[in-house]
Homo-oligomer: A and B are copies of this chain.
């Protein structure tokens, strides 16, 4: 029996500002990455998002990012591993108050935006994130980019790790993502994207932009719910995965 998790970034609204169609996307995913107030989210939004996730039967994880609300955590910042470690602890702790109050465990942590991308390629940063989690609660799963240093760091820290793949992104021969500015970075054809994803889940590999077959763990697929067409894609990929005999389950049922 094949299994995969569908994860989405949620709880990104802030104060009077709304982003995302959280209530809708929660019907289709199995794990929610909830923003923790640094790059997005605020305490009321976190509380609401955790409750909505619980009602939808979706597992909750923390989505810590850089302290850069103005840049939505998407801008690289030079911070020390010690800073990154403390930022991750702070944010996962903050979210844990809401999950505990709802009677939910904190299933996982997935770094957000620039922190995610930087840590994928920077072992000191990746280790800082993994150790932050391990020091607070080593039952929490680390969700990171497949084949990246985040996965390596998570294992070294003694954590259960889950590998994330992207349906609509091209991969390089070394298993890394094709940078967004390069040709082949985005798979524009929906059917092709879904077919590639099904192969990743069932066969554990993907065809690189240069033609090689690259091994890839696909524990979780990242999907978006910030606009109607993204939502339609999620429904589509979910249905196609299920039609292929792939069960959609939270990370805790996989790793």
Contacts and interface: CB of A to CB of B under 8 A. Distances in A.
Interface of A: 14-19, 37, 40, 42-44, 46-47, 67-72, 74-79, 82-83, 86-87, 89-98, 100-101, 114, 132, 135-137
A162 to B, nearest CB: 21
A15 B97 contact: no
Nearest to A67: B70
Contact of A70 (B42, B46, B82, B89): B42
Output the residue of A16, A71, A95 with the most chain B CB within 10 A. A16
A96 B16 CA distance: 25
A57 to B, nearest CB: 21
A90 B83 contact: no
A132 to B, nearest CB: 8
A144 to B, nearest CB: 19
Contacts of A96: 93, 96-97
Contact of A94 (B42, B69, B94, B137): B94
A74 to B, nearest CB: 8
Contacts of A18: 17
A42 B90 CA distance: 9
Contact of A136 (B40, B46, B100): B100
A16 B86 contact: no
Contacts of A47: 86, 89
Contact of A43 (B68, B90, B100): B90
Given A67-B68, A77-B77, A96-B96, 8 more contacts: A16-B72, A17-B19, A43-B89, A44-B82, A78-B114, A86-B98, A93-B98, A101-B136
A101 B135 CA distance: 5
Nearest to A84: B43
A214 to B, nearest CB: 28
9 shortest A-B CB distances, which residue pairs? Answer: A93-B97, A43-B86, A17-B17, A16-B72, A101-B135, A43-B90, A76-B78, A89-B97, A94-B94
Contact of A37 (B90, B92, B98, B101): B90
